[in-house]
Structure 1
Amino acid sequence: MNLRKGKGQKIMKSNFNDGKLRNMTSVYISQDNKILLLYRKGGRVVNDVWVGSAGGHFEEFELNDARACMLRELKEELNLSEKMLENIKLRYVTLRRTKGEIRQNYYFFAKLNQDYKIELNSNEGIAKWFDIEEIKSLEMPYTAKYVIEHYVDIGIKDDLIYGGIANSEKVVFIELPEF
């Protein structure tokens, strides 16, 4: 439907359902300069691509706690608990508007404690360790691909949280300082 806005300007009414959000979280686990990724199979939103070590949608009781969602998904998908990880940090928050909703993704990074030299398997697909430089070449969901590229090139060198806004060409990241 076209609407008029004075002097012949047209405004297109969006098909976007205002206020529809999809909140998701993901964690990337590293050990010995490798990162564990999951080739997700049978997912509702993401399927047949490489994603973080574990992740998924927020439950209603987690809406204000991305860390709680990440830890629940970690336990469900890899049977890992928080005590098995070290240096767990939220590093990226991205926004993408697609398919009539705004998708908010919270990306955590952590290290598998050296005491746990175990083979990790997931009930969501195929879990595999990759050299850190190798992961940039894998097929991933849109914002995840840009998060990984930014992390490997910049984020791995600091401890900052970055906010990313997606457009059809790329994801633009800025530092998300506390003030």
Structure 2
Amino acid sequence: MAVAFLFNEEQEVLFLQKKQQDTFLAGFLVPIGGHIEGDEMNEPQKACFRENEEETGLKKDYIENLTLRYILLRIKDNQEIRIQYVFIGSVSKNNTLFESDEGSLSWVGYKDILDYNVSATTKEIVKHYDQVGKYNEKVNVGSMKSLKGNPEITWGPLEDWELPIFT
């Protein structure tokens, strides 16, 4: 999956309100994004731009500084590794949005996100971004797990260990 947290000039983030009858995250607020198509496997940003246009009508040119900031990993049924690419970008609130049949769009104040019906993954991303991510440009990798039945993500910066400082 490739999703985006799109901030406007008022520090609000654009979310999609999933329909109550949806089979996955029904009624939840989710970041804009979705599945990566076969030809996008090596280009998650391309998938993110496509999903944003499909769900909001926002063309690539209207989204600024869309930057990969998080990669989340989890294993499903001990067989399938799922990867979610999370981008952070900015967009003007003055842009016209076109809603898709996937749900309704809304701007949520960044400081208020945790008060809404969002997934545990979204909560953990917001907490990490607030404490660490907004203060640097690093890509962080999160390993998802359950701690006594509660979802948890263990974070680490993605770095190149072959940099000259280790030689």
With structure 1 as the length reference, what TM-score do the two structures score?
A: 0.77
Can you list the C-alpha shifts for 1:58-95, whole angstroms capped at 9, x where unaligned?
11111111011101101111111111011110000001
User: Gapped runs of 5+ residues in structure 1?
Assistant: 1-23
Check conservation: 1:139, 1:145, Cα contact below 8 A.
no
For 1:118 and 1:38, how far apart are their aligned partners in 2?
16
Kindly indicate whether residue 145 of structure 2 is the aligned counterpart of residue 167 of structure 1: yes
What SS does the aligned partner of 1:120 have? coil
1:27 corresponds to which letter in structure 2? A
Match of 1:122 in 2: 99
For 2:76 and 2:47, how far apart are their aligned partners in 1?
22
Check conservation: 1:132, 1:152, Cα contact below 8 A.
no
Kindly indicate whether residue 89 of structure 2 is the aligned counterpart of residue 110 of structure 1: yes
Aligned residue pairs: how many? 153
For 1:28 and 1:85, how far apart are their aligned partners in 2?
11
Counterpart selection for 2:51 from 65, 73, 78 = 73
| 1:83-162 alignment, distance < 5 Å | 83-99=61-77, 101-112=80-91, 114=92, 117-123=94-100, 124-162=102-140
User: Gapped runs of 5+ residues in structure 2?
Assistant: 163-167
How far residue 134 of structure 1 moved from its aligned partner, in angstroms, is 0.4
Counterpart selection for 1:177 from 136, 151, 159 = 159
For 1:44 and 1:158, how far apart are their aligned partners in 2?
36
RMSD: 1.8
Amino-acid identity (%): 27
Match of 1:82 in 2: 60
For 2:99 and 2:133, how far apart are their aligned partners in 1?
26
How far residue 103 of structure 1 moved from its aligned partner, in angstroms, is 1.7
Match of 2:13 in 1: 35
Counterpart selection for 2:26 from 47, 65, 77 = 47
For 1:97 and 1:161, how far apart are their aligned partners in 2?
20
For 1:57 and 1:44, how far apart are their aligned partners in 2?
15
What SS does the aligned partner of 1:58 have? coil
